[in-house]
Structure 1
Amino acid sequence: MKTTPRIAIDARMVHKSGIGTCIQHWLKDVGYSIALGDPKELEEYKDCFQTQIPFISSIYGYKEQLKFPYRKLKKSAPDVLHVPHCNIPLLYRGKMMATIHDLTHLVYPEFLPMKLVHWYFKFIFWFVCKRADRINVVSESTKKDLLRFYKVNPDKITVTPLGVGKEFVKKSKPEIEYLYEKYSIPRDKKIILYVGNLLPHKNLNGLLKGFAQMKDREDCRIVMVGKAFDGRTTQTIESELGIEHLLIRAGMVSQEDLVNFYNLADLFVLPSLYEGFGLPILEAFACGTPVACSNTSSMPEVGGQLATYFDPQNPESIAHALEQSIHRKGTQDAEIEAWVSRFSWENCSRKIREIAESLCAEK
């Protein structure tokens, strides 16, 4: 008879972007018994678990290791501890699974502020490979990276694709038209949407260089969404390229506005050099918007045969992909809907639980 495992999760990053989105859905669907984290941040999820263990600490570094509630967690007796990233507790001795989203710090060490950060993550990923009983990765690309950098048994690794939130759906024109006025967007221009930040591997400058080479760029506007664009003024590269007047900085927006921006856009573009999964590709697809993205790392896995791909380090390639895709909205609706249906948080959470159950079955 299969027993129900008591699974604990380190939920401190529940309100972070990226990993926080995963934790929010996992809390609702996996069926955790124990959650570690800030009681205030976990308040809205209190019905998703039975026991809460306060754990307030910054992530990554020695402080979280010193503050980890080893005794309280041991007393709560979980069968498995799920750590949603690489920062596993060094002294924990119970069964443990870790989710690794990407290895950006190892693939692109030149983008790190100092060598010490590189060595920290090189060690912590090594320790995950050595100590975790199971490693869950979000894409085949991340699995390949892990096997490239470390000697780890492939059977120890499970690939679990992420899902797309149910709020990402097609909207009618009247529902989204308010965005034109709210963000001063011209109604007679094609909208290219970028959602992200200014981290080097996100390659925003590469996108701008490619956009500057588009033949019909004057008929387009790039709308940039993300905290990094709050109050951001003219940057040197934008002035040099002569495209400053074609950029709209929306800044940080609500979840509702984000969904509506995906719907408003004629094209969503993800120019990253590297992504562990590339969830915005699915979010755009779910809203019926075509996608142009890099042909690197995990993005071809997520975009399938429906996205238009480009070399992120070649402005001409980017420009060609933008020109090729900007008029495609509405031409792939049936195929996009079928593709997106393959990715759900319910399936993702079910696989997380199955990994925990398989660990409990082992002696």
Structure 2
Amino acid sequence: MKTLCIEGWRGVNHSIAMVNQNQILEMVKDPRFQLFHRDAPFFMPHWDRSKLDSGFSPEERAVIDGLPDPGERVMDTCLRIASPVRLTHPSLARRHLTFVVTEFGLSGKSFDPPELQPSAFTQGEDQVITPTRWSKARLVEYGFDPDKVEVVPHGYKTDTFFPMTEEQRQQARAALNIRPEETVFTNVGVATWNKGIDLLLLAFAELRLSGLPVRLILKDHQGLYGISVERVFAEMAARAPQLGLPVVRDGIAVLSTSLNLPQIRSLYALSDAYVSPYRAEGFNLPVLEAMGCGTHVIVSGGGATDDFTPPELCHRLFTRPGTPADAPQPVGGAFVVPDLEDLRESMLQVVEKRLPPPARREAARQRLAQRFSWAQVTRQLLDLC
């Protein structure tokens, strides 16, 4: 039995911590490994488990929190999964795997200390793992050896994220006072520029002002990043005053509390489409989870989600490569610019129910579950250990 120590985040709902925790729940089932865990410092000191709940069941939390600290024991492998990327405890493992993910690209701020070079993470048999080809391309641009960077995708909890019955779906919609004729669009991403929430708001406002019965549900992440959806509204008010009209604002609901995993599943499943017109993503886990619930997704083409979005379950927006003139401030890396008209048209297709037949969609969803379950992708990761 090999020893494996994870140096990472757990207990909070940040995406990196969620990946680590889901992987742990699968790793403990593999008889090849004896697992240990050393907590890495959180990116922001104010992150609090009691306020940023990761949403797992008490039984799952017990498993995640129950991994022992290795102390000074030398491990066969150390898996680092936190940000910024650090060379923590290099002498306490014979081999290291380091998780590195990026949206736009890497900079000195991605590392601690900033002067760390890519070669420091790929000495000998050490390797770097990243979840998409998009992210790998950004790592290679920064100077990582492409032969030392392995793409291991993220997965989703297939025992949590699966379709509702039609009766359950109607009950969930009724609980939120959603009328049968209304089309519901959802996005649970943080309201940063790369997520494209501003584009979603513009397209939604156009549909709403045309008289269509559409609703939009957004998730606020004030507790995690100190960034609120209301800030996006305020910043856009000058150039898009239509967003402040009552007919538009009345169609938008902002969820401000933490949701457990069954509640997130309910949100995906009751929605008619999950919309993510992002400019840059390292992976975009909610898109995968929403498709697992059988929900149609609208995503930017040419980015990270190209790795896992089958045409039966998604519409890939037309995009073009971004330029410095497209960004409100320098981003220092690559991004795409989604076509706003294509976004509006793809949302209209959902309203008019112009989607692939249900049988094709369900077959694609089942293939997705087989390929991207946490069990499957974590096995790929452990095979590298």
TM-score class, shorter: 0.7 to 0.9
**Alpha-carbon offset, residue 168 of structure 1:** 0.3
Give the corresponding residue for 1:359.
none
Does residue 309 of structure 1 match 2:303? no
Q: Distance in 1 between matches of 2:268 and 2:79?
A: 32
Matched length: 324
Give the corresponding residue for 2:327.
none
Does residue 160 of structure 1 match 2:158? no
- Pick from 5, 11, 18: which aligns with 1:8? 5
Give the corresponding residue for 1:352.
381
**Alpha-carbon offset, residue 159 of structure 1:** 1.2
Change (3 A) 1:46 1:290: closer
8 Å CA contact 2:105, 2:142 repeated in 1: no
* TM-score using structure 2 length: 0.73
Give the corresponding residue for 2:217.
223
8 Å CA contact 2:7, 2:79 repeated in 1: yes
Q: Distance in 2 between matches of 1:181 and 1:119?
A: 47
Of 11-20 and 235-244, the range deviating more from structure 2: 235-244
Give the corresponding residue for 2:370.
341
**Alpha-carbon offset, residue 8 of structure 1:** 0.2
Q: Distance in 2 between matches of 1:144 and 1:208?
A: 30
Deviations 1:196-242 (A, max 9, x none): 11112111001112223348563211111343498949934367124
Q: Distance in 2 between matches of 1:168 and 1:192?
A: 17
* TM-score using structure 1 length: 0.77
Change (3 A) 1:168 1:124: farther
Does residue 241 of structure 1 match 2:248? no
Give the corresponding residue for 2:137.
144
Give the corresponding residue for 1:76.
73
**Alpha-carbon offset, residue 169 of structure 1:** 0.9
SS of corresponding position for 1:213: helix
What root-mean-square deviation, in Å, do the aligned CA atoms of Structure 1 and Structure 2 show? 3.3
8 Å CA contact 1:273, 1:296 repeated in 2: no
Q: Distance in 2 between matches of 1:77 and 1:351?
A: 24
Q: Which has the higher helix share?
A: 1
8 Å CA contact 1:27, 1:48 repeated in 2: yes
Does residue 33 of structure 1 match 2:35? yes
Q: Distance in 1 between matches of 2:102 and 2:7?
A: 18
Aligned sequence identity (%) = 16
SS of corresponding position for 1:341: helix
Deviations 1:142-183 (A, max 9, x none): 11111112141x221211111111200111233344544544
Q: Distance in 2 between matches of 1:151 and 1:280?
A: 28
Structure 1 regions of 5+ residues with no counterpart? 54-71, 110-115, 357-363
Of 25-34 and 134-143, the range deviating more from structure 2: 25-34
SS of corresponding position for 2:379: helix
Deviations 1:264-286 (A, max 9, x none): 11111111111111221221111
State the AA in 1 paired with 2:86: I
Q: Distance in 2 between matches of 1:234 and 1:275?
A: 19
SS of corresponding position for 2:250: helix
8 Å CA contact 2:21, 2:64 repeated in 1: no
**Alpha-carbon offset, residue 129 of structure 1:** 4.1
SS of corresponding position for 1:97: strand
Of 187-196 and 12-21, the range deviating more from structure 2: 12-21
Please give the residue correspondences for 1:272-311 in structure 2 after superposition, counting only pairs within 5 Å.
272-306=278-312, 307-310=314-317, 311=319
